[in-house]
Structures are given as C-alpha cells and as structure tokens.
Amino acid sequence: MEISEELYDAGSNEELKAKKYWAQDMCYKYNHTEPSKVEERVEMIKKIFGKTAGRPIVEQDFWCDFGYNISVGEHFYMNHNCTILDPAPVEFGDHVLIGPNCNFYTVGHPVDANLRNQGLATKKPIKVGNNVWIGGNVIVLPGVTIGDNVTIGAGSVVTKDIPSNCVALGSPCKVVKNL
C-alpha cells in the first residue's frame, strides 16, 4: 500500500502496521547479528531495502519504518546508529558515505494541533545523489534533494534542497563552498 503525500493515519491502517512490524522485526534481527557475519548482514539489508545495487554496508544499529521505500546504489556505506523513517521513498545514489548517528525523516506532522492530535501525518520523499558524503550527526528532513558530488558537514540539519558540486553545512544547512 502506497501512502500519498497528503495526510494519512498510519496508526489505524492494519496493512501499514503489519509492514512496519515486519521491518522493525527485521531491523531487530539485523542489529543482533554478530558484526563479524558481514555477508549475512549484507543479505539481510538486501531483504529489508526495496532496491539495492552491489554490496551495501550498513553498520549496526540501524532502524527504519518500512524498508521497502529505501533504495541504494553501488558502493553504499552507512555508519553506526542511523535511522531512516521511510513512509515515502528514500533514494541514495552510487558512492554514498553516511557518517554515524544520521537520520533521514520523510514523515512529518501537521502544524495544526487538531489534525496532529488525530494521529495524522504527512510524507515527502528524500533523494541523495551520487558521490555524496554526509558527515556524522546529520538530519535530513522531508522533501529534501541533495545533488551529486556533495559533502554535508557534520551536525547539519538539511531543511532544503542542496545543489550538486558543493560543500554545505550548518543548521539550517547552507552551501559554503562550490566545487
């Protein structure tokens, strides 16, 4: 079941709940697999993610909402303690390096408290291009696109699109150098 960008209530949708529990169970198993069992972990990540190329390396702990909305290209590496909240698609290109403690959020909640109190949420996709390095402790918010050949500095909060061929950092994240 696909979730639209409009308001939705995932809490009362049994199909979405079942898919979320499946992904959480898989992440739990993945996170409790011995780190030395690299090939087993790669195969598990390939089952969790919707689309993979090559041999993605994801260090433990890793958590996601659904998994099937995540796609990664060749030479993908994600360091420890990362979370992807993926009711909307999250796409990573080729040669992407993600530092520890990074978070990618496609889900949001309405500013209107009455709607929020009804348990409603929104979602917008995230796209990360090719040859991107995302430093540690970075947060990427819903609807953001990060171009090709980009470095995002550690501790940044990416609230808006980042163009290709640059270094960007800060909270909010802004381009500080064109390459």
Helix ranges (DSSP H) in the chain: 14-31, 38-48, 113-117
Query: Do 150 and 164 meet the contact criterion of CB atoms below 8 Å apart?
Result: yes
Catalytic residue among 75, 80, 95, 109: 109
Nearest residue to 140 via CA among 122, 123, 128: 128
95 catalytic residue (yes or no): no
Question: Rounded to whole angstroms, how far apart are CA atoms 37 and 20?
Answer: 25
**What SS3 state is found at 175?**
strand
Question: Would you say 95 and 75 are in contact if contact means Cβ atoms under 8 Å apart?
Answer: yes
Can you tell me the distance from the alpha carbon of 19 to that of 39, in angstroms, rounded to the nearest whole number? 25
One-letter amino acid for residue 102 of the chain: C
Task: Name the residues annotated as catalytic.
Answer: 109
